[in-house]
């Protein structure tokens, strides 16, 4: 459990609600300096958003709420016109506005993020940047805190060049860019790397350094790196995937040596595909500068488990609008009210996220 002194040392720039710009950077530095990482949860509804915020409030932890392209489309509605990713953009923006409206009520710092965006999905990314820039003009800060570009399928040089171009644009609105090196295996929300060459699951320190040099040259540029070290999206049995967090430690040492940095951990690293990872591997990765770990598969299951358990408990009351074990004319409205199973799903998901926060050492990092 994190000591109270860590929460007391939270930077003064970091306030309850959505954090961006300098406050975001300060929060990530605080995480790196105090050896904890922030859970980053994919959401597809306001209910899932609220479960994340509830977990953060209960456990006094920062939280990252992130939207995928498919998740944004789902929030807008599957019948909405998605020509040129219009629904994916609109749904992501709508979800972000919901977070901004309620986040401060939970008393914790919240990072608003979007997940994997491959080269063929750049219309979605461009639309999000347009929304950020419009929000920035009105409010002096971006709508989101950060966005991810996943160009890991492209040659390294092209990956770096496109990311640098986008970071130059994003820096003007105080947005942080997450980039991916190597490939996270498995499948997640339209990104399928189940048949990928295993050698691509492991990033080399020299590749991380090339990204660090290029993006570090962007004025006011903020970035994180999702470097592959054997990560796989989805559920897998222990022993089926070989995680090598040593890659992250070696990359930090390589950059410190070649860039002559004062910090022993000059890079903010991101951990993708963490489902099923041991606490030992997670904590060792955090020691190497991991400040964010993505969570999707486990919270998908927890949300479903909440609904499943509710139905199992109240099954006899859910077979018709009228009639249950208490009587043939008894009304069941209070049982089939959608808020009831959804609330159970939120509770189970918040509990599961509390377990993740324990693994990530982020509990009690917020006053």
Please identify every residue annotated as catalytic: 115
Distance CA 117, CA 168 (A): 17
Rounded to the nearest 5 degrees, what angle is found at the Cα of 146, between the Cα atoms of 244 and 243?
10
CB atoms within 10 A of CB 323: 15
Separation in Å, CA 340 to CA 48, 203, 287, 294, 334: 14, 45, 41, 28, 8
Phi-psi region of 137 (alpha: psi -120 to 50; beta: other; left: phi over 0): alpha
Distances in Å between the Cα of 86 and the Cα atoms of 42, 83, 121, 224 are 20, 6, 12, 27
d(CA 160, CA 151): 9
Q: How many CB atoms lie within 10 A of CB 158?
A: 12
CB 309 within 8 A of CB 341: no
The 3-state DSSP class for residue 319 equals coil
CB 274, CB 293: distance < 8 Å: yes
Nearest residue to 208 via CA among 275, 276, 267: 267
> Residues 6 or more apart from 44 whose CB is under 8 A from it?
71, 74, 75
Q: What is the spatial distance between Cα 176 and Cα 268, in angstroms, rounded to a whole number?
A: 11
Range list of H helices, 78-150:
86-102, 122-139
Question: By the 8 A CB rule, do 360 and 36 touch?
Answer: yes
52, 104 Cβ separation under 8 angstroms: no
What is the SS3 assignment for 280?
helix
């Amino acid at each position: 459990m994190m000591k109270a002194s860590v929460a007391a040392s939270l930077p003064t720039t970091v306030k309850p609600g959505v954090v961006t710009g300098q406050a975001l950077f300060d929060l990530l530095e605080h995480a790196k300096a105090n050896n904890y990482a922030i859970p980053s949860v994919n959401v597809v509804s306001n209910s899932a958003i609220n479960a994340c915020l509830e977990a953060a409030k209960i456990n006094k932890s920062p939280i990252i709420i992130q939207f995928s392209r498919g998740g944004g489309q789902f929030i807008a509605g599957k019948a909405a016109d998605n020509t040129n990713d219009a629904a994916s953009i609109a749904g992501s923006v709508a979800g972000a506005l919901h977070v901004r409206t309620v986040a401060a009520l939970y008393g914790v710092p919240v990072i608003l993020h979007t997940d994997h965006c491959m080269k063929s999905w750049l219309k979605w990314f461009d639309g999000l940047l347009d929304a950020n820039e419009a929000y920035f003009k009105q409010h002096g800060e971006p709508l989101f805190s950060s966005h991810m570009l996943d160009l890991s399928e492209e040659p390294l040089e092209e990956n770096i060049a496109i990311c640098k171009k986008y970071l130059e644009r994003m820096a003007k609105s105080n947005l942080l860019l997450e980039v991916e090196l190597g490939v996270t295996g498995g499948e997640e929300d339209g990104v399928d790397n189940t048949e990928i060459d295993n050698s691509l699951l492991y990033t080399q320190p020299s590749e991380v350094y090339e990204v660090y040099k290029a993006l570090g040259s962007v004025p006011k540029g903020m970035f994180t790196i999702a470097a592959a070290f054997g990560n796989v999206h989805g559920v897998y049995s222990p022993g089926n995937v070989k995680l090598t967090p040593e890659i992250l430690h070696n990359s930090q040492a390589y950059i410190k040596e070649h860039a002559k940095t004062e910090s022993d951990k000059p890079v903010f690293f991101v951990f993708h595909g963490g489902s099923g990872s041991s606490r030992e591997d997670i904590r060792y990765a955090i020691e190497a500068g991991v400040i964010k770990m993505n969570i999707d598969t486990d919270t998908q299951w927890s949300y479903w488990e909440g609904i499943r358990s509710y139905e199992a408990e109240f099954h006899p009351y859910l077979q018709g609008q009228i009639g249950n074990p208490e009587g043939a004319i008894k009304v069941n409205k209070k049982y089939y009210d959608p808020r009831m199973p959804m609330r159970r799903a939120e509770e189970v998901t918040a509990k599961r996220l509390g377990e993740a926060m324990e693994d990530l050492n982020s509990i009690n990092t917020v006053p």
